[in-house]
Amino acid sequence: MAEHEQIDFEEELRRYWRRDPFLPFDIVTTSADRYHITDPGQIAFGSNAIIVALRSTGIQMVRKNQIVAVHVHEPSL
């Protein structure tokens, strides 16, 4: 039986959050909500959740176990 790869989305988020130069990325949840992060100051890490500050909707709490993908916006060449 093959083992399933376990992805640590928190570690992925932290890696993109610390990247220099910063590249915008999206956090995607199990409910298909998408949070577009354009600045590292938009997110804060809690023990069980990520706090996201958005201009359109204000502060959102995203449970870490509800994150299913992180999509990085690679720069155009």
| CATH number assigned to the domain comprising residue 32 | 2.30.30
Is residue 74 in some structural domain? no
Domain membership of residue 76 (yes or no) is no
Assess if residue 52 is contained within a domain: yes
Residue 31 belongs to what domain range? 9-69
2 in a structural domain: no
Strand partners, 67: 29
Give per-residue pLDDT as tens, 3-28: 545 567 788 889 999 999 999 999 99
Amino acid identity, position 27: I
Instruction: Decide if 49 is inside a domain.
Output: yes
Quote the number of domains for the chain: 1
By three-state DSSP, how is residue 16 classified?
Answer: helix
Tens-place pLDDT, residues 26-64? 999 999 999 999 999 999 999 999 999 998 889 999 999
Looking at residue 12, what DSSP letter applies? H
pTM: 0.81
Closest to 70 measured CA to CA, from 21, 20, 43: 43
pLDDT at 1: 45
Domain membership of residue 77 (yes or no) is no
